[in-house]
Amino acid sequence: METTKSMTLEDIFILNTFIPFPMVIYNHERILFHNALFEQLAISDGYMMDYAKNYALRELGRAELDITMENEKARSFVLSNQKVAIDNEECFLTFLIDNTENKVQGTKLIKMCELRDR
């Protein structure tokens, strides 16, 4: 059974001061809040809403998301999704944790192991 945490807008602003990750809160129709770190990623609201409709509703907990930025550089994020109720409205709270370097190092390690095995 899933527990939905209840929050207010004041709680979100307090949480934002302590969280060092991009953070976004959205419901089925729109983005309700995003912090400055999320804004710096330049992820469009439409893209985030597509993600919400296609994945977040099924993937509470952790999910991976690969994004190609405007400069054609690919970045990988681990998304931590959680249901919250803000002023009695069901929403999703998502933190985006940059996983790009870990993914690159993992790929290099796999290639090195394959080379060693040959």
Percentage, residues of the chain above pLDDT 70: 88
Provide the pLDDT for residue 59: 56
Q: Is the pLDDT of residue 94 over 80?
A: yes
CA 6 to chain centre: 20
What confidence tier does 79 reach under pLDDT thresholds 50, 70, 90? confident
Residue 36 pLDDT: 87
Which range among 1-10, 35-44, 70-79 has the greatest average pLDDT?
35-44
pLDDT, tens only, 32-68:
888 888 888 877 778 777 777 776 555 567 778 777 7
Average pLDDT of span 100-106: 83
The pLDDT of residue 3 is 57
- For residue 1, the model assigns a pLDDT of 38
